[in-house]
Amino acid sequence: MLRLARRVVFAMGLTGLIATLFRLRGSGGVPPQSGGWREITPSELD
């Protein structure tokens, strides 16, 4: 039982570590939550 608990804790810790690594090293940023069409103005074309 104790061995099982240790394995669960180890697995969760490892998962957290990998997730943290992805979070810190990932380059995707926060994806847009919503949006819309907007007209491009001439100043944006300079």
Binding site for other proteins (CB under 8 A): 27-40, 42, 45-46
Q: Which is nearer to other proteins, 23 or 32 (CB)?
A: 32
CA–CA separation, 37 and 21 (whole Å): 35
In angstroms, what is the minimal distance from the CB of 25 to other proteins? 10
Helix (H, G, I), strand (E, B) or coil at 3: helix
Give the position of tokens 């394995």: 7
Least distance (Å) between residue 43 CB and other proteins: 10
Using the minimum distance from each CB to other proteins, give the nearer residue, 5 or 39. 39
State the residue for tokens 């380059």. 27
